[in-house]
Amino acid sequence: MEDIEPRKVPPVWVGLIPIAFMIVSLFVGIFVLELDPHIPLLASAIVATIVGLCLGHSWKEIEKGMLKTITLPLQAILILMIIGALIGSWTAGGIVPTMIYYGLEVLSPTYFLVAACAICMLVSVASGNAWTSAGTIGIAIMGMAEGLGIPIALAAGAVVSGCYFGDKVSPLSEMTNLAAGVTGIDLFEHIKHLMFTTVPAITIALILYTIIGFTLDHASDNAEQVMILQGQLRELFVISPWILLVPLTVIVMLVFKMPAIPGLVIGTVLGTICTAVVQGASLKEALNTLYYGHTAETGIEMIDSLLNNGGIESMFWTIALIMIAMAYGGILETTRILESIVNAILKRVRSTGSLIATTVGTSVTTNFLACDAYLAIIFPARMYASEYKKRGLQLKNLSRTVEDGGSVTSPLFPWNTCGAFMFATLGVHAFTYAPFAFFSILSPIIAIIYGFLGIKIAYEPKANPADSATITPAVQVEST
């Protein structure tokens, strides 16, 4: 059934009703009632639907918008389930314990955070996917942090920073390709321009992790704790450097541009073989691990927390949150509520710096409200493209800015698809690690500073860089 005639953009005060309700309900639900974000988001979706109906939208329109938006992360949901199976098989197969065992021998507490970030950077650049690097090397790093007595919030922040650096700059990254494609910029031209804000952000982040590493209170019993942990791992698993060939194989496949899904499936199969052949589990136990994850009851809380993870079942909490969040985002887009707020903001924007700040703010806000990094790139890119052109700004400024504000801030919100995934994978709530995800915090700040100071802003050859043009309200956005 075709859509009826498009509705007008609602007044900004109307658009603020479901957004204000969402902010209040999430705050009360999470911080006062200590609920999971699912119910506050579901209630927000209901309020947004009521507002949409009052604006003249039919239920069919709203339902179609929700369903269309829910289909956007289906590939991500599939990857999420595969990574759940991979984590379970890699834990039961001794792969994660082996990475933890040898990592504890190599990494010192002082340089742990900077090394963790750097390792995740390399794996993420090679794989082009933050989720893949977090679901493989990231979980091993969290285990090492437990063994070395490193605060898990700091460790998770370093992992997130490293993972999203790679997801931001890798030519294999879906986010990077999306930002370049939606603005019509050559991929490598986009990456080159992106480096001007990305390199300073990650450099400062690495410096901060190094400084924090020297200020941490490394307890004198760390060496004894590491020995106990390594001894327990040897009792529970066959530990061998040959097992490390499994993660190495997966990384090599991804480097040679094998798509994420078949690469992760092969890694899961190899993990299952290790569970049955190397660790001596029965075929039934090895296959059950893919769905239910690995379970351990050693009586030692630290060991059990490290080894009781993985499985497709463990990802259902995250999948449910993703679907509710995307439905809510679809309602906001179909009813043009987000557009009404952006238009109101644009009326007050005058300079290039304020335009870039507005682009960053829209990307971050979309991550908060629409709950998906893809929308946080697509929405502002389409909304502001004409304004960048009117001001004589090359669109590679726009492609860079939506990544600075969109892709890297997505894991900072627990109801965002990326924040939900990181919580499910690393076991640390987004609000807990967010203050220490320095790269994700610094990237949008540096982008705004560059905009106001005119640093590395590319203009069209015949354009006057003076901020004399007046920005007009954004045009209607087509539904994604």
Q: What pLDDT is stored for residue 440 in this prediction?
A: 92
How far is it, in rounded angstroms, from Cα 352 to Cα 295?
Answer: 55
pLDDT at res. 6: 56
Query: Residue 209: which of 138, 145, 113, 116 has the closest Cα?
Result: 113
User: What is the model's pLDDT at position 225?
Assistant: 67
Q: Which residue has the tokens 């998770």?
A: 156
Element (H or E) spanning 81, and its range? helix 74-92
pLDDT at 92: 85
pLDDT at position 13: 83
- Please give the backbone phi and psi of residue 462, each rounded to the nearest 5 degrees, phi first: -100, 10
* The predicted structure's pLDDT at residue 470: 44
Tokens of 398: 């726009």
CA atoms within 13 A on the CB side of 169: 23
Contacts of the segment 22-27: beta carbons below 8 A, 24+ positions apart: 22/47, 22/48, 22/328, 22/369, 26/415
Separation CA 453–CA 351 (nearest Å):
11
132 alpha-carbon distance from chain centroid: 11
* In the chain, domain spans: 74-315
Q: Give the integer Cα–Cα distance in Å for 58 and 80.
A: 33
Apex 214 CA angle, 210 and 215, nearest 5: 115
Q: How many residues appear in the chain?
A: 480
Q: What is the dihedral of CA 264, 265, 270, 271, to 10 degrees?
A: 70
The ranges of the chain with pLDDT < 50 are 1-5, 220-221, 467-480
As beta bridge partners, residue 309 has 294
